[in-house]
Structure 1
Amino acid sequence: MHPELQPGPFKFLQVTKKSSSVHAKDPEEALCGVDDVTKLAFLHEPGVLQNLKSRYQMNEFYTYTGNNILIAVNPFQSLPHLYTDEMMKQYKGAGFGELLSPHPFAIANAAYRSLFPNNDVEKQSQPQSVIISGQSGAGKTETTKRIMHYLAYMGSRNAASQGPLVDEQVLQSYPILEAFGNAKTVRNNNSSRFSKFVEMQFDHKGIMSGAAIKTYLLEISRVCQISDRERNYHCFYMLCAAPPEVREKYKVEDGPRKFHYLNQSTCVKIECRNEAEEYIRTRKALDIIGISYKEKEAIFRVVAAILHLGNVEFAEGDAEGSSKLKDKNSEFHLSTAAELFECDEKILNDLLCQHIMVVRDENIVTCCNPEVAKRKKDTLAKTVYSRLFDWLVDKINKSIGSKGQNSKSTIGVLDTYEFENLKTNRTKRKHPDDAFRKENDALCRRRWPAETQAEFPLEDLQGEVEVPSTTLPRKAVEPMGVTVIGSSRTGQGHVFKKTTEDEEYKKEGIEFSHMHNDHQDVIELMGNKPAGGIIALLDETCLTGWTHERFAEKLYQAFKNNKHFSMPKFDKSEFTICHYAEEVIYQTKLFLDKNIDFDIHEYQALSSASKCEFVSGLFPPPCSSSKSSKFSFVGSRVKEQLQSLMETLRATEPHYICCIKPNDLLESGIFEDMKVLQQLRCAGVMEATRIISSARYPTRRTFDELIDRFGFLAPDVLGGSSNKRDAITRLLEKVGLQDYQIGKTKVFLRAGQMAELDARRNKVLHSASLIQRNVRSFSARKELNFRRQTRAAIIIQCAWRGKVARKVHRKLKIAAQETRALQDVKKALEKQVDELSWWLQLEKRMRVDLEEAKSQENAKLRAALQEVQQLYKETNEMLVQEREAAKKTEGIYLVNTGLMNKFRDENDKLKIFVSSLERKIVDTEKKYKETSKTNEEKLMDADKRNDDLNMEMLRLQKKILTMGSEEKMRLKGLLSTLVESIRQHFLIPIAPKWLEENRTPSMDVQNEAHREIFSQ
Structure 2
Amino acid sequence: ARFEMGLVYTYTGPMLLAVDLAPGEPSPYPHVFGAAREAYQGVWQAGVSQTVLVSGESGAGKTETTKFVMRFLALAGAGGTEDSMSVIERRVLESVPLLEALGNAKTLRNDNSSRFGKYTELQFRSGSALRGANCYLLEKVRVIGVQPGERSFHIFYQAGTRWQKASESSRVASDLAPLAAVLERGSLSAHDFVYLERSGCSELQGHDEAADFDETLAALRAFGAAEAEIEEVLAAILAVLHLGNISFVAPASNSEGSEVSNRNQADGALAITSELLGVSPEELEATLCRRVMKVVDERASHQKITQSRSVAQALEGRDALARHLYGAVFSSVVGRVNDVLGADVSQEQQLRRDLRPPFVGVLDIFGFEFFQSNSFEQLCINFTNELLQQYFNEVIFEHEALYARERVQWDPLDFPDNKAVVELLGGSGGSVLSGIFPMLDEECNLAGGSPESWCNKLQARYSASKLYQAVMKRRENFIIKHFAGPVEYESEAFLRKNKDTLTADVLECMKASSRAFVRQLGFP
Would you call these one fold, judging by a TM-score over 0.5? yes
Q: 1:417 is matched with which residue?
A: 366
Q: Deviations over 1:313-357 (max 9, x none)?
A: 111123121111223669622111111111121111111111344
- Identify the match of residue 538 of structure 1 among 418, 421, 440: 440
Shift of 1:571: 4.9
Are positions 1:371 and 2:312 aligned together?
yes
Q: Deviations over 1:974-1002 (max 9, x none)?
A: xxxxxxxxxxxxxxxxxxxxxxxxxxxxx
* Residues in 1 aligned to 2:275 and 2:202: alpha-carbon distance in whole angstroms: 27
Q: Is the 8 A contact 1:144 1:415 kept in 2?
A: yes
Q: 2:466 is matched with which residue?
A: 563
Q: Is the 8 A contact 1:444 1:535 kept in 2?
A: no
Q: 1:262 is matched with which residue?
A: 196
Q: Deviations over 1:116-175 (max 9, x none)?
A: 23xxxxx512x2111111223222111111101111111116999999611101000001
* Residues in 1 aligned to 2:11 and 2:190: alpha-carbon distance in whole angstroms: 44
Q: Whose helix proportion is higher, 1 or 2? A: 1
Q: 2:409 is matched with which residue?
A: none
Q: 1:74 to 1:158 in 2, by over 3 A?
A: closer
* Larger deviation, residues 562-571 vs 543-552: 562-571
Structure 1, gaps ≥5 residues long: 1-50, 83-99, 118-122, 425-437, 460-470, 472-483, 487-494, 507-512, 621-628, 630-1016
Q: 1:111 is matched with which residue?
A: 39
Q: 2:19 is matched with which residue?
A: 73
Q: Is the 8 A contact 1:606 1:616 kept in 2?
A: no
- Identify the match of residue 295 of structure 1 among 219, 229, 233: 229
Shift of 1:442: 2.5
Q: Deviations over 1:79-130 (max 9, x none)?
A: 5x77xxxxxxxxxxxxxxxxx721111000011112223xxxxx512x2111
- Identify the match of residue 342 of structure 1 among 262, 278, 294: 278
Q: 2:176 is matched with which residue?
A: none
Letter in 2 for 1:421: F
Q: 1:358 to 1:287 in 2, by over 3 A?
A: same
Q: 1:358 to 1:594 in 2, by over 3 A?
A: farther
Letter in 1 for 2:109: R
Q: 2:175 is matched with which residue?
A: none
Q: Is the 8 A contact 2:368 2:382 kept in 1?
A: no
Q: Is the 8 A contact 2:370 2:487 kept in 1?
A: no
Q: Is the 8 A contact 1:564 1:577 kept in 2?
A: yes
Q: Is the 8 A contact 1:312 1:331 kept in 2?
A: no
Letter in 2 for 1:443: L
* Residues in 2 aligned to 1:161 and 1:102: alpha-carbon distance in whole angstroms: 27
Q: Deviations over 1:779-821 (max 9, x none)?
A: xxxxxxxxxxxxxxxxxxxxxxxxxxxxxxxxxxxxxxxxxxx
Shift of 1:598: 2.5
Q: 1:576 is paired with a residue of what secondary structure?
A: strand
Query: What is the correspondence of 1:299-314 to structure 2 with a 5 Å cutoff?
Result: 299-314=233-248
Q: Deviations over 1:248-271 (max 9, x none)?
A: 543222322211122223322212
Q: 1:261 is paired with a residue of what secondary structure?
A: helix
Q: 2:4 is matched with which residue?
A: 54
Q: Is the 8 A contact 1:237 1:275 kept in 2?
A: yes
Q: Is the 8 A contact 2:469 2:479 kept in 1?
A: yes
* Residues in 1 aligned to 2:401 and 2:266: alpha-carbon distance in whole angstroms: 66
Q: 1:136 is matched with which residue?
A: 58
* Residues in 1 aligned to 2:382 and 2:21: alpha-carbon distance in whole angstroms: 29
- Identify the match of residue 440 of structure 1 among 370, 373, 376: 376
* Residues in 2 aligned to 1:419 and 1:63: alpha-carbon distance in whole angstroms: 21
Query: What is the correspondence of 1:25-424 to structure 2 with a 5 Å cutoff?
Result: 51-56=1-6, 60-65=7-12, 67-77=13-23, 101-117=29-45, 124-125=47-48, 127-156=49-78, 165-203=87-125, 205-208=126-129, 210-242=130-162, 243-244=166-167, 246=179, 249-250=182-183, 251-318=185-252, 319-327=254-262, 332-359=268-295, 363-401=304-342, 403-404=344-345, 407-418=356-367, 420-424=369-373
Structure 2, gaps ≥5 residues long: 173-178, 297-301, 350-354, 406-411
* Residues in 1 aligned to 2:283 and 2:522: alpha-carbon distance in whole angstroms: 16
Q: Deviations over 1:620-644 (max 9, x none)?
A: 5xxxxxxxx7xxxxxxxxxxxxxxx
Q: Is the 8 A contact 1:111 1:130 kept in 2?
A: yes
Q: 1:538 to 1:363 in 2, by over 3 A?
A: farther
Q: Deviations over 1:562-620 (max 9, x none)?
A: 23223345654233322224333333333222221232433222232201111011135
Q: Is the 8 A contact 1:353 1:369 kept in 2?
A: yes
Letter in 2 for 1:223: V
* Residues in 2 aligned to 1:187 and 1:249: alpha-carbon distance in whole angstroms: 33
Q: 1:526 is matched with which residue?
A: 425
Shift of 1:504: 11
Q: 1:730 is matched with which residue?
A: none
Q: 1:158 to 1:144 in 2, by over 3 A?
A: closer
Query: What is the correspondence of 1:578-597 to structure 2 with a 5 Å cutoff?
Result: 578-597=481-500
* Residues in 2 aligned to 1:419 and 1:228: alpha-carbon distance in whole angstroms: 19
Q: 1:116 is paired with a residue of what secondary structure?
A: helix
Q: 2:500 is paired with a residue of what secondary structure?
A: strand
Instruction: Name the count of aligned residue pairs.
Output: 484
Shift of 1:556: 2.2
Q: Deviations over 1:918-969 (max 9, x none)?
A: xxxxxxxxxxxxxxxxxxxxxxxxxxxxxxxxxxxxxxxxxxxxxxxxxxxx
* Residues in 2 aligned to 1:592 and 1:389: alpha-carbon distance in whole angstroms: 24
* Residues in 1 aligned to 2:293 and 2:380: alpha-carbon distance in whole angstroms: 27
Q: Is the 8 A contact 1:193 1:419 kept in 2?
A: no
Q: 1:373 to 1:255 in 2, by over 3 A?
A: same
Q: Is the 8 A contact 1:164 1:288 kept in 2?
A: no
Aligned CA RMSD, in angstroms, stands at 3.1
Q: Is the 8 A contact 2:468 2:478 kept in 1?
A: yes
* Residues in 2 aligned to 1:607 and 1:254: alpha-carbon distance in whole angstroms: 25
Q: 1:324 to 1:300 in 2, by over 3 A?
A: same
* Residues in 2 aligned to 1:158 and 1:589: alpha-carbon distance in whole angstroms: 53
Which structure carries more relative contact order (alpha carbon 8 Å, separation 6+)? 2
Q: 2:196 is paired with a residue of what secondary structure?
A: coil
Q: Percent identity?
A: 30
Q: 1:611 is matched with which residue?
A: 514
Q: 2:312 is paired with a residue of what secondary structure?
A: helix
TM-score of the two chains, using structure 1 as the length reference: 0.45
* Residues in 2 aligned to 1:78 and 1:283: alpha-carbon distance in whole angstroms: 31
Q: 1:418 to 1:527 in 2, by over 3 A?
A: same
Q: Deviations over 1:415-450 (max 9, x none)?
A: 1224753334xxxxxxxxxxxxx5222333333345
* Residues in 2 aligned to 1:344 and 1:198: alpha-carbon distance in whole angstroms: 40
Q: 1:135 to 1:162 in 2, by over 3 A?
A: closer
Q: 2:352 is matched with which residue?
A: none
Letter in 2 for 1:267: C
* Residues in 2 aligned to 1:607 and 1:419: alpha-carbon distance in whole angstroms: 36
Q: 1:284 to 1:570 in 2, by over 3 A?
A: closer
Rg larger in 1 or in 2? Answer: 1
Letter in 2 for 1:179: A
